[in-house]
Amino acid sequence: MKLFFVLALFSSISALAQISYGGKSGPGKGTSSSTNEHREKNAAKAGDAKKSKTARKTPSKDPNLAKYYINRKTSPRPNKIQPVKTKLPLKIPPGSRIALIGNLLLDAERRFGHLETLLHQHYPKHKLTIRNLAWPADEVDLMPRPDNFGDLDQHLHYFKSDLIIATYGYNESFGGKEGLPGFRKRLDQFLTHLKTQAYNGKTAAQIILLSPTASENIAAVNAGDRNNENLALYTQALAEGAKKHSIGFCNVFNGTKTNITASKLNQRTIDGHQNNIHGHHQFANIAFKALFEKDPTALNEDLRQLVVDKATQFHYRYRPLNTFYYTGGRNKSYGYLDFLPAMRNFDLMVANRDTAIHKTVATGKLVNPDDSNLPKLDDVLLSRGANKFFSPADELKAFKIDPRFEVNCFASEEDFPEMACPIQMRWDKHGRLWVSTSVTYPHVYPGQKPCDKIIILEDTNQDGKADKCTTWADDLHIPLSFVLDGNGGVFCSEEPHLTHLTDTDSDGKMDHREVVFTGFGCEDSHHALHDFTWTPGGDLLFRESIFHNSQTETAYGPIRAKNSSWFLYHPSTKKLTAFGAYPNTNPWGVTFDPYGNHVASHPVFASTFHATNPDYPSQHPGARGMQAYSGVCGQDFVSHDFWPKEMQGGFIKVRYKPTNRVEFHHWNEEPAHFSEKYQFDLIFSTNLSFIPVDFRFGPRGAAYVCDWYNPVKGHAQYSLRDPRRDRKAGRIWRIIPKKAKLDSAPKIATASITELLDHLKSPHYRTRYWAKRELRSKTSKEILSPLLAWTKKQKIPLHLLESLWLHQAFDQPNLELLEKLIRSDNHLVAASAFGPLRFWAPKLPPSKSLNLLNYGISHPSQHVRREAVLCASYLVPSHSHRTDSSITPSSVVNTLAPILEQEADTHLAYAISTTLNSSALKPHWQDSQHASTITKALADFKKSNRLKPNTKNANEASFDAQKGLQTI
């Protein structure tokens, strides 16, 4: 058997190697050299000030600041020492320094504070000092950290730990029974090391080992049934390990599994695993009783709030955002003066809160912390020039606008001061524009509190300009992206968290925050979770990009990703899937074409990259030979007929580098993918303070550009603390064709279910998107009967595809419809129909799923074969995707094998390669009859494409030293 790779793209994409790794923009398919010359000329006209130098002197570096720098390369390590025994009930000497280590169970203590509060109350005169070093999804020998970040030993030594309270076992338990022998060995090695280190410089630490808590069954998530048998086994292994090493052990598993099936009112977890505030309080009480063999006293709520404040300030110090600029590969230019004065001041703030805690617990009266001892932060380097600052009116004059269009300022800081530093825009069902803003970016500094906003803009008189602004949330932490959930709430990026924000009392303002998942990477705050959108099938899609190390705990097991990945979150089942991990740079902007193809920027045709991830920490190969651009921030397809005819079916995108433009591109079908082809600029600005960061069509068909207007353009190119970073400006621009008569806004909020279903036949993507979001806010009982009746009346394949996606959103497999569309005469519809099969296979007979997969693998269209092969990586469980499918891995491999005999262009070849290298499938074909054939085919593909899998951090891969890379 032979795999044929048709690499037609290489002849026309000679510079894509540079593009796909953040290099100088070169010609991609459909992008001529003259187009790129035009872009370069525009960039030159704009006059980027960062290429100029200032006359300012370099500030001196205080050598005393070096002691606040904790890093793997140079920070001191503890000496070895004889261990001490730890007995229960525990006795803690006065002045003890206590460290919390382990996984999410103790990481959540930072947000809730119950256990620490109980410890202080038990020893009101001991002046205990407690530091939380826990990290979500940590295991006894797997603790991924940012580049050059100090390891556990170095941090325990820096904080002179006398007592260590550790929790492990939850994440390891997904190794099952067969993983127990390995876990016992790993635990033994970990405890042998931990108990023989003089972290405080004098003696070994006392050690307490906590078991995991039990999982519970909640609606749609039978986590208790799924997990508790293994958790009991690993709890027993922990107990045995603690006894062997003469350390204390607390079994909190037994105390939390008393009622594993919970009603909504008495749930102690949010997802079957992660404790809510009540569950964490219960855990703290059980742990306290196990530690001291007595019941805790009633919790002092004022003291708990003070403990949480202290833990929050320590978190800013221990796990700061932008660690790639603190300890990592970009710390050389600005890291010393950017971070070390802040680390000094955070240490002081944490100590000030220790003092307040000690006084509060000793006196019984709340004592607020006093930060009057904080020194001024040292000056930072201002070596580059900044761009000119224009008023909104003058900025508009700096736009070079295509004469067919008119542009006006929809909203600015002159109208609404709340508009400062806008990032993302989303339209709600009432036709109001929600905007996230961030003056906290690039990160919190000592003495600050996150105060970022989501505001709601309204154009009440429909004159094309906002006349009302309402603040919905005002205490957010760099909301890099968000989506409306359809029920009045918001899913939001608040690194390191994915949060769900709600307005529980319906007063128009957010009042509740739930951390859905935590542990996502923070190494670069503008690469953190972004591109939030609902997929056509109703999943929440988001991604992160280069430098990041993410690991989060779910009820289905830990999810980890290194450097970059996409994620899918299904709210009803609380399931998180990681996929599409490959080396990329600044990949903002996401939408979907009418067939549900995933359109992004790096890469442009993102559907090709949907294979689940390889074994952690590996990545799939880069986007060589495929269009992939850095610096794009948003795109949307043109469909309203008052826009020029030649624009119909294409899309508008906004780009902030290498120049700042609003562009139009055609969307062209190729043998196995779609490609973009640049046509013209709607707007080009000669003022590079114009930074377009999002693009959306509105309900009436006008286009809107979100403008992070700022004279400092760059994250790495300037000090993160550069005082010239503007925190007051922000604009939203509105574009319409001249003399256009706008469409009426679709009725969403007051529409009946039937009317909403009819919106699925709209030619406008955003109308369909809003209708499906509203439909998903209904219950299955309300939806299914009218949906089935509506489906029977539809004849057009695209309309039936919308029905299929809505069935997917409600977890209601419709096998008849699925099979009909997979066997459709329209190859693009057939390809898209494989999307739901990824998630429905566990509920279908294995033979039916395999028959459909076989049909797709042998289809004459490469589009269909691409989606069929990608589907295969979801049918088998892996570390990045948990499934209950009863399909055997060998049957999937056998079904896939014939695809190697067929022709494949670059995109299909990439899909085949990444699917076969996914952690779901690779272990199963390596020992199969197809091993030699697949190995040879993958080697041919790798050689033909000059691709290498990436497992290194960007620093290790010399990211900043690549040939052709431009600092822009």
Give me the amino acid identity at 221.
V
At residue 409, the 3 state secondary structure works out as strand
Q: Does 940 have pLDDT greater than 90?
A: no
Task: From 483, 480, 478, select the one nearest 500 (Cα to Cα).
Answer: 483
Across the range 414-430, mean pLDDT stands at 98
Q: Does 954 have pLDDT greater than 90?
A: no
CATH number among 3.40.1000, 2.40.160, 3.40.449, 1.25.10, domain 753-945: 1.25.10
Q: Alpha-carbon distance 107 to 236, whole Å?
A: 23
Six-digit token pair at 545?
A: 């990009």
Q: What is the DSSP track for 652-682?
A: EEEE-SSS-EEEEEEEEE-SSSEEEEEEEEE
Query: How sure is the predictor about 584, in pLDDT bands with cuts at 50, 70 and 90?
Result: confident
Q: Does 1 have pLDDT greater than 80?
A: no
Q: Are 665 and 681 in contact (CB under 8 A)?
A: no
Q: What is the DSSP track for 168-227?
A: --TTGGGGTGGGHHHHHHHHHHHHHHHTTB-TTSSSPPEEEEEPPPPP-EETTEEHHHHH
Predicted confidence at residue 538, as pLDDT, reads: 98
Q: What is the pLDDT of residues 534-551, one digit of tens each?
A: 999 999 999 999 899 999
At residue 454, the 3 state secondary structure works out as strand
Task: From 290, 300, 295, select the one nearest 248 (Cα to Cα).
Answer: 290
Q: Does 2 have pLDDT greater than 80?
A: no
Q: Does 342 have pLDDT greater than 70?
A: yes
Predicted confidence at residue 854, as pLDDT, reads: 98
Across the range 834-853, mean pLDDT stands at 95
Q: Among 144-153, 438-447, 624-633, 735-744, where is mean pLDDT lowest?
A: 624-633
Where are the CATH 3.40.50.1110 domain residues in the chain? Answer: 78-299
Query: How sure is the predictor about 55, in pLDDT bands with cuts at 50, 70 and 90?
Result: low
Predicted confidence at residue 22, as pLDDT, reads: 32
Predicted confidence at residue 947, as pLDDT, reads: 52
Q: What is the pLDDT of residues 191-233, one digit of tens each?
A: 999 999 999 999 999 999 999 999 999 999 999 999 999 999 9
Predicted confidence at residue 186, as pLDDT, reads: 99
Predicted confidence at residue 674, as pLDDT, reads: 98
Six-digit token pair at 922?
A: 């690779």
Q: Alpha-carbon distance 414 to 944, whole Å?
A: 55
Q: Alpha-carbon distance 222 to 573, whole Å?
A: 9
Q: Alpha-carbon distance 433 to 731, whole Å?
A: 13
Better-predicted residue by pLDDT, 44 or 731: 731
Q: Are 722 and 380 in contact (CB under 8 A)?
A: yes
Across the range 450-472, mean pLDDT stands at 98
- Buried b / exposed e over 85-102, threshold 16 CB at 10 Å, is ebeeebebeeebbbbbbb
As assigned by CATH, the class of the 78-299 domain is alpha beta
Query: How sure is the predictor about 36, in pLDDT bands with cuts at 50, 70 and 90?
Result: very low
Q: What is the pLDDT of residues 854-872, one digit of tens each?
A: 999 999 999 999 999 999 9
421 — phi, psi (to 5°)? Answer: 60, 60
Q: What is the pLDDT of residues 116-140, one digit of tens each?
A: 999 999 999 999 999 999 999 999 9
Round the average pLDDT of the chain to a whole number and report it: 91
Give me the amino acid identity at 228.
N
Query: How sure is the predictor about 33, in pLDDT bands with cuts at 50, 70 and 90?
Result: very low
Query: How sure is the predictor about 946, in pLDDT bands with cuts at 50, 70 and 90?
Result: low
Q: Does 736 have pLDDT greater than 70?
A: yes
Residues found in the chain: 968
The maximal CA–CA distance of the chain, rounded, in angstroms, is 84
Better-predicted residue by pLDDT, 586 or 800: 800
Six-digit token pair at 291?
A: 């530690």
Across the range 457-478, mean pLDDT stands at 98
Predicted confidence at residue 953, as pLDDT, reads: 42
Predicted confidence at residue 336, as pLDDT, reads: 84
Predicted confidence at residue 20, as pLDDT, reads: 32
Q: What is the pLDDT of residues 346-404, one digit of tens each?
A: 999 999 999 999 999 999 999 999 999 999 998 888 878 888 999 999 999 999 999 99
Q: Cα separations (Å) of 337 from 97, 382, 385, 758?
A: 29, 11, 19, 58
Predicted confidence at residue 264, as pLDDT, reads: 75
Predicted confidence at residue 820, as pLDDT, reads: 98
Predicted confidence at residue 714, as pLDDT, reads: 79
Where are the CATH 1.25.10 domain residues in the chain? Answer: 753-945
User: 């806008």: which residue's tokens?
Assistant: 422
Query: How sure is the predictor about 46, in pLDDT bands with cuts at 50, 70 and 90?
Result: low
Q: What is the pLDDT of residues 764-779, one digit of tens each?
A: 999 999 999 999 999 9
